[in-house]
Amino acid sequence: MSKTIFQHIIDREIPAKIEHEDDRCIVIHDRDPQAPVHLLIIPKTVIPRVGDAASGDEAVLGHLLVTAGVVAKKLGIRRGFRLVINHGPDACETVPHLHIHLLAKRQLTWPPG
């Protein structure tokens, strides 16, 4: 299987604006932002989709959520943010490498659509 765009970014083969990185994940700014702050929180371990995650992935999945909070605080996001995970074509998933969108700094509508 060929590398995803996220693997190329993690391997520094494609440039990206990196907001945060540690041994388990990387956080980059989305190239097509849907809010004033639109980050992608990406595990370095490839999990194709959230529905493909296994019990052994629990630590990484939890780390992604904790990282979202850490990065939001770092950026001074105080009024709220939304986390989104897309799974499959009906959810508009475009890269088969699990990632969490963090959207903030504008009023978000509900229900999302």
pLDDT for position 96: 92
Asked if the structure places residue 75 within a domain, the reply is: yes
Residue-level length of the chain: 113
* Unique residue bearing structure tokens 């700014």: 29
Complete edge-to-edge strand list for the sheet that includes strand 18-21: 18-21, 25-29, 37-43, 100-104, 81-84
Asked if the structure places residue 23 within a domain, the reply is: yes
The range of the structural domain enclosing residue 20 comes to 5-98
99 classed as catalytic:
yes
Beta bridge partners of 102: 39, 83
Asked if the structure places residue 82 within a domain, the reply is: yes
pLDDT at 113 over 70: no
Asked if the structure places residue 109 within a domain, the reply is: no
- Output the six-digit token pair for 3: 């590398």
Q: Which of the residues 38, 63, 87, 99 is marked catalytic?
A: 99
pLDDT at 97 over 90: yes
The CATH number that applies at residue 34 is 3.30.428.10
Asked if the structure places residue 84 within a domain, the reply is: yes
Asked if the structure places residue 106 within a domain, the reply is: no
With contact defined as beta carbons under 8 Å apart, do 48 and 65 qualify? no
- pLDDT tens digit sequence for 32-57: 999 999 999 999 999 999 999 999 99
